[in-house]
Amino acid sequence: MWSPLVFLLIAACSSPSPRSGSDVSQTPSPFVSCAALAGSGATSVPDVSLPCFTGGEQVPVRQINGPLVINLWASWCGPCRTELPLMQQLADAGAGKLRVIGVDTGDERDAGASFAADKKIDMPTLFDGDSKLQKAIASTTLPVTIFVDASGGTHVYRGIPFTAKTLADQVQAQAGVRVKL
């Protein structure tokens, strides 16, 4: 039986009307460059290309080599606001063993940049104002995390935000990398 809390969480992070992907940010980006993301991987991630938040060319998400964690988030999503700092901790703890990228989804660039700067989030982040990746994985709620193992296999996690323990456990089980958070 579904509890009222589950319905509240789903409603809180259901996608609002899509945002234009061509929004021009007036806020400086707090994120690092996506230049190192280009790869030749052939994962089962949907074939979607998204712009790096810092600018530059489109990044074909499917070609980012694993092991990899992709976290879809938005500044307006309460559970995302709780979970994103944990994803930054994962990016720091997994450096050299695991790539962690964010995808600011269905959001306004300025709102995403401002939120990330406030929370000191600087992991590589893509911008998906039109929610293309979220739609491609048939998700209507956020946050969503996609785990990609070293061989390109993917596992999608939709649910309540991670704790440090559940995230570390899922990274080991789904991406094959042990991290301590």
Predicted TM-score (pTM) of the model is 0.79
Question: Per-residue pLDDT tens for 63-80?
Answer: 888 899 999 999 999 999
What pLDDT shows up at residue 22? 41
> Does residue 17 lie within any of the structural domains?
no
Domain span holding position 111: 28-175
> Does residue 63 lie within any of the structural domains?
yes
Contact 119, 89 (CB under 8 A): no
> Does residue 80 lie within any of the structural domains?
yes
**CATH number assigned to the domain comprising residue 130:** 3.40.30.10
Sequence-separated (6 or more) residues with CB below 8 Å from residue 115 = 75, 81, 84, 121
> Does residue 71 lie within any of the structural domains?
yes
> Does residue 144 lie within any of the structural domains?
yes
Question: Per-residue pLDDT tens for 82-130?
Answer: 999 999 999 999 999 999 999 999 999 999 999 999 999 999 999 999 9
Phi, psi (degrees; rounded to nearest 5) at 166: -65, -35
Question: Per-residue pLDDT tens for 24-62?
Answer: 445 555 665 565 555 545 467 889 999 998 888 899 999
HEC profile of 89-119: HHHHHCCCCCEEEEEEECCCHHHHHHHHHHC
* Number of domain units in the chain: 1
> Does residue 59 lie within any of the structural domains?
yes
> Does residue 3 lie within any of the structural domains?
no
